[in-house]
Amino acid sequence: MAVRCNIEGALARVILEVPAKHNAISVAMWRQLRRTFEQLAQAVQVRCIVISGAGGHFCAGADIEEFPAVRHDVDSGRHYHLEVLGPAIEAIRTVPQPTVAAIEGYCIGGGLQIALACDLRIATTDAQLGAPVARIGFPFALPELKPLLALVGPGVAAELLIAGRLLSGAEAQVKGLVQLALPRDDWGAAVERTVQDMLAASPLALRQNKAQIRLLLEQGGVYSQAQLDSSFGFFTSEDYREGVAAFLQKRRPLFSGR
């Protein structure tokens, strides 16, 4: 199976698994990714999702060997981006649980798009991130450019797409493309610490934070009175009462996500 999902209690690990191709993504894998994340969105017991690649690489992008068959003219290209790739990225982006991209090795093209759809990106310092797609004759599609531009701005987007640079993990951290870059010996432990911090927090609060970040980005920082009123509904939750009680009693909280 090219996309594997292991659920370990409250943690889901999604692994891209085609190491012979540095986890290049086929049409079947894009569809599998979409199904996986749509299913995880309904898995109330899952509180955090980590996506990574097998064999020392995150993802080298779309499987270009398929392009003559699946992306060979305007109609097929439009279908590929809007009906295959796009819905998979959207399923990752909109899954309610917080997501972490654990990046090592290549994170290029479609792999970069997967990472951009995650909430947090933690890379090895020697990872290679970029999208030199112009070298093989095509630009980023508009819907796929939008999250890159929102995250790093036009300068870094131009560096990646026009200059075609591959950034090391260390450079990517400086430019805001990843939150954290560490040597390989420290990287895995940092990913796990991040996951454990998430699992120790209120899943209800994390989901609401994620949803509100997305809401404000999509609405240009503007929110309605109804959205404001809804945001305060958290104060009636079991998680809020448990969190305050645990702090006052100097014990670890036991959050239920309700």
pLDDT over 70 at 1, yes or no: no
Round to whole Å and give the CA distance between 233 and 127.
Answer: 41
pLDDT by residue (tens digit) across 36-64?
A: 999 999 999 999 999 999 999 999 999 99
pLDDT by residue (tens digit) across 4-37?
A: 999 999 999 999 999 999 999 999 999 999 999 9
- What is the identity of the amino acid at 39? Q
pLDDT by residue (tens digit) across 160-173?
A: 999 999 999 999 99
Kind and range of the H or E run holding 128? strand 128-130
Round to whole Å and give the CA distance between 60 and 193.
Answer: 26
pLDDT (0 to 100) of residue 118: 98
SS3 182: strand
Round to whole Å and give the CA distance between 187 and 158.
Answer: 28
- Yes or no: say if 156 and 175 are a contact pair by the CB < 8 Å rule: yes
Buried b / exposed e along 74-108 (16+ C-beta atoms within 10 A) = eeeeeebbeebbbbbbebbbebbbbbbbbbbbbbb
Average pLDDT of 244-257?
A: 94
Interhelix angle 142-161/110-117, rounded to 10 degrees, is 110
DSSP one-letter string for 217-253? HHTTT---HHHHHHHGGGGGSHHHHHHHHHHHTTS--
Q: How confident is the model at residue 245 (pLDDT cuts 50, 70, 90)?
A: very high
| Mean pLDDT for all residues in the chain | 96
Average pLDDT of 135-159?
A: 94
Which of 138, 134, 143, 137 has the alpha carbon at shortest distance from 164? Answer: 134
pLDDT by residue (tens digit) across 202-230?
A: 999 999 999 999 999 999 999 999 999 99
pLDDT (0 to 100) of residue 170: 98
pLDDT (0 to 100) of residue 152: 96
Q: How confident is the model at residue 104 (pLDDT cuts 50, 70, 90)?
A: very high
- Yes or no: say if 97 and 134 are a contact pair by the CB < 8 Å rule: no
